[in-house]
């Protein structure tokens, strides 16, 4: 692969590693360390979507990693966060290490991985272990991450759905997640269930291993998920997805000058997306090209017939008039946007 090739918006294009195997790193991210890019994600199964324990949207491998010097040729590095095949283990597979995100803590010299964790058999729910954030830590970027367990930010009442982690320029770090609450509220002589979902920002502790009491609700981003965070010219941006399960939908972007302040909705960032499907993808993460101000937005075209063959769509973020936008390209290279 000499350039980022995505095909038409209804195509599933296979990206392969240097051994010729399909790259299988769902909903992860990229971290630059030791002079190389490291791409990680949850290894999905070559199965269709299903409501039971056999669905391809779960993993029975774990989180895997690839390395590259140019973002185009990727060498498989192996499994960095493994599942267990012991029924007594907290990591008994299949399960979900969904949307894993790795950040490096300069003070502790640790690589910290947060993910949306769903225990065996990997079906989303509201019970203990079914709607959590999970934590793992490693001394090296591509080593074996040690599982630290799972928890819920803010309080046990808020179920965890899609999430990401953002490391700011001052070294502070934040979890941004879709917080889901179901309350029993009075309704005349009886009561009814009322659901509330909204993106929240929670500041992590200095070692990135726990949560502080500092958090904020993004009121404008109710009923949104799949947050992708960028920064440009004094503004933070979040590109989000609607709540339609595995079906694609129209993206919405939000901006603010302070992560804990009010966020303003600025509309669909996808230019000429006539299908209103985020180019038939969903956002995953964003990263800087090393040594430049170029930010690449990672999106994924989920293949619900065979999850191992999901497509990766990476597009350069563009900024003008304090807004962010994405333009679809079937084929592009970094040298053309520098």
3-state SS, one letter per residue, for 143-157: CCCEEEEEECCCCCC
* pLDDT the model gives residue 190: 56
293-to-134, 190, 290, 318 alpha-carbon distances in Å: 31, 57, 8, 11
The pLDDT of residue 249: 98
Per DSSP bridges, beta strands 110-118 and 96-105 are antiparallel
Query: Looking at the predicted structure, is the pLDDT value of residue 191 above 70?
Result: no
What are the structural domain ranges in the chain?
4-333
Q: Which residues contact 299 (CB under 8 A, 6 or more apart)?
A: 278, 279, 281, 282, 283, 284, 312, 313, 314, 315
pLDDT in tens, 48-92: 987 666 799 999 999 999 999 999 999 999 999 999 999 999 999
Quote the pLDDT of residue 338.
65
- For residue 186, what pLDDT is reported? 67
Closest CA to 308 of 43, 83, 123, 77: 43
* pLDDT at 45 (0 to 100): 95
Is the bond into 25 cis (omega within 30 degrees of 0)?
A: no
pLDDT-based confidence at residue 2 (cuts at 50, 70, 90): confident
The pair of three-digit structure tokens given for residue 177, joined into one six-digit string: 């997640």
For residue 166, what are its two tokens? 């953002």
Give me the percent of the chain exceeding a pLDDT of 90.
92
Q: How confident is the model at residue 183 (pLDDT cuts 50, 70, 90)?
A: confident
Q: What is the pLDDT of residues 126-172, one digit of tens each?
A: 999 999 999 999 999 999 999 999 999 999 999 999 999 999 999 99
The pLDDT confidence band at residue 336, using thresholds 50, 70 and 90, is confident
Mind listing the pLDDT tens digit for each residue in 273-287?
999 999 999 999 999
- List pLDDT tens digits, range 214-268: 999 999 999 999 999 999 999 999 999 999 999 999 999 999 999 999 999 999 9
At 300, is the pLDDT very low, low, confident or very high (cuts 50, 70, 90)? very high
pLDDT at 319 over 60: yes
Give how far the C-alpha of residue 260 lies from the chain's centroid of Cα atoms, to the nearest Å. 20
CATH top class, domain 4-333: mainly beta
- Burial class of 59 by CB neighbour count within 10 A (0 to 12, 13 to 18, 19+): buried
User: By three-state DSSP, how is residue 182 classified?
Assistant: strand
């Amino acid at each position: 692969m000499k350039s980022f090739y995505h095909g038409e918006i209804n195509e599933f294009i296979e990206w392969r590693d240097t051994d010729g195997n399909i790259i299988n790193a769902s909903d992860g991210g990229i971290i630059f360390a030791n002079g190389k890019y490291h791409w990680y994600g949850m290894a999905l199964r070559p199965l269709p979507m299903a409501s039971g324990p056999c669905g391809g949207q779960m993993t029975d491998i774990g989180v895997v990693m690839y390395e590259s010097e140019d973002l185009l040729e990727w060498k498989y590095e192996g499994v960095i966060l493994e599942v267990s095949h012991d029924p007594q283990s907290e990591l008994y597979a299949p399960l979900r290490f969904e949307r894993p995100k790795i950040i490096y803590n300069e003070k502790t010299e640790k690589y910290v991985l947060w993910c949306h964790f769903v225990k065996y058999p990997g079906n989303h729910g509201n019970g203990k272990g079914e709607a959590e954030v999970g934590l793992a830590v490693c001394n090296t970027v591509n080593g074996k991450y040690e599982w630290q367990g799972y928890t819920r930010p803010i309080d046990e009442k808020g179920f965890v759905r899609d999430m990401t982690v953002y490391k700011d320029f001052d070294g502070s770090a934040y979890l941004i997640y879709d917080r889901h609450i179901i309350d029993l509220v009075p309704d005349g002589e009886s009561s009814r269930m009322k659901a509330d979902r909204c993106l929240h920002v929670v500041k992590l502790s200095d070692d990135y291993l726990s949560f502080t009491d500092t958090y904020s609700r993004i009121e404008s981003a109710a009923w949104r998920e799949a947050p992708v965070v960028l920064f440009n010219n004094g503004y933070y941006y979040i590109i989000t997805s609607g709540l339609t399960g595995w079906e694609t939908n129209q993206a919405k972007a939000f901006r603010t000058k302070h992560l804990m302040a009010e966020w303003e909705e600025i509309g669909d960032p996808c230019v000429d997306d006539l299908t209103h499907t985020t180019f038939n993808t969903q956002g995953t993460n964003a990263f800087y090209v090393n040594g430049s101000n170029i930010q690449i937005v990672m999106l994924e075209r989920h293949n619900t017939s065979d999850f191992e063959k999901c497509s990766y769509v990476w597009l350069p973020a563009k900024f003008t008039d304090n807004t962010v936008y994405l333009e679809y390209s079937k084929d592009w290279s970094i040298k053309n946007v520098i």
